[in-house]
Amino acid sequence: MKLQIADDDLASCVSCGLCLPHCPTFRVTGEERYSPRGRIEAMRQVHLGGEPIDASFVDMMDTCVQCRGCETACPSGVSFGRLMEGTRETLVREARYQPWWRRLGYAALGVKPLVLGGSTALALLQRTRLVPSARFGLPERLPIRRPKLTASGRDVWLFTGCVMDAWQRDVHVAVARLVEATGAGVALPGGGGACCGALHTHAGLVDDARRLARRVIDSLPGDAPILVDSAGCGAQLKDYGHLLGTADAEAFSARVRDVHEWLAERVDALPPPIDSHALGGSARRRVAVQDPCHLRHVQRVHLPVRTVLAPYADLVELDDEGLCCGAGGAYSVLHPEMAGAIRERKVASVGRSGAQVVASANPGCQLHLSASGLTSLHPATLVAEACGLADAPGPVTAAPAARAALAGPGRGAGRLAVWAGRRLRPRRAGRG
Name residues whose C-beta falls within 8 Å of residue 409's C-beta, 6 or more positions apart in sequence: none
What does residue 46 show for φ and ψ, rounded to 5 degrees?
-80, -50
Q: Which pLDDT value is given to residue 250? A: 98
Q: What mean pLDDT is predicted for residues 219-224?
A: 96
The greatest distance separating any two alpha carbons of the chain, rounded to the nearest whole angstrom, comes to 71
Q: What is the rounded distance in angstroms from the CA atom of residue 221 to the CA atom of residue 216?
A: 9
Q: What mean pLDDT is predicted for residues 287-303?
A: 97
Contacts 24+ apart (CB under 8 A), 81-85: 81/298, 82/5, 82/6, 82/9, 83/5, 83/9, 83/10, 83/40, 83/43, 84/39, 85/201, 85/202, 85/204, 85/206
DSSP state of 129: T
Q: How many angstroms from the chain centroid is the CA of residue 120?
A: 22
Q: Which pLDDT value is given to residue 169? A: 95
pLDDT at 430 over 80: no
Residues 273, 274, 276, 280, Cα dihedral to 10°: -170
Q: What is the rounded distance in angstroms from the CA atom of residue 415 to the CA atom of residue 405?
A: 7
pLDDT in tens, 255-284: 999 999 999 999 999 999 987 544 445 568
pLDDT at 92 over 90: yes
Q: How many CB atoms lie within 10 A of CB 430?
A: 12
HSE-CB for 356 with a 13 A CA cutoff: 8
pLDDT at 157 over 50: yes
* 426 band by pLDDT with thresholds 50, 70 and 90: very low
Name residues whose C-beta falls within 8 Å of residue 278's C-beta, 6 or more positions apart in sequence: none
Q: What is the rounded distance in angstroms from the CA atom of residue 212 to the CA atom of residue 157?
A: 18
Q: What mean pLDDT is predicted for residues 70-84?
A: 97
pLDDT at 130 over 90: no
Name the percent of the chain lying above pLDDT 70: 87
CATH 1.10.1060.10-classified regions of the chain:
7-94
The chain-wide mean pLDDT, for the chain, equals 88
Q: What mean pLDDT is predicted for residues 32-46?
A: 98
Please report, as a single letter, which amino acid is at residue 367. Answer: L
Contact 230, 163 (CB under 8 A): no
* 412 band by pLDDT with thresholds 50, 70 and 90: very low
Q: How many CB atoms lie within 10 A of CB 155?
A: 15
Q: Which pLDDT value is given to residue 134? A: 61
CATH (residue range 7-94)? 1.10.1060.10
The residues that bridge with 258 in the sheet, in sequence order, are 228
Edge-to-edge strand ranges of the sheet holding 186-187: 186-187, 156-159, 226-228, 256-258
pLDDT in tens, 99-108: 999 999 999 9
Q: How many helices (H) and strands (E) does the chain have?
A: 24, 10
Burial 21-31 (b: 16+ CB within 10 A, else e): ebbbbbbbeee
Residue 253 buriedness (CB in 10 A; 0-12 / 13-18 / 19+): buried
> Which has more confidence, 408 or 118?
118
What does residue 288 show for φ and ψ, rounded to 5 degrees?
-90, 130
222 Rama class: left (phi>0) / alpha (psi -120 to 50) / beta: left
Least confidently predicted of 42-56, 292-306, 378-392, 401-415: 401-415
The residues that bridge with 158 in the sheet, in sequence order, are 227
The helix (H) or strand (E) run that includes residue 187 is: strand 186-187
* 192 band by pLDDT with thresholds 50, 70 and 90: confident
pLDDT in tens, 322-372: 899 999 999 999 999 999 999 999 999 999 999 999 999 999 999 999 999
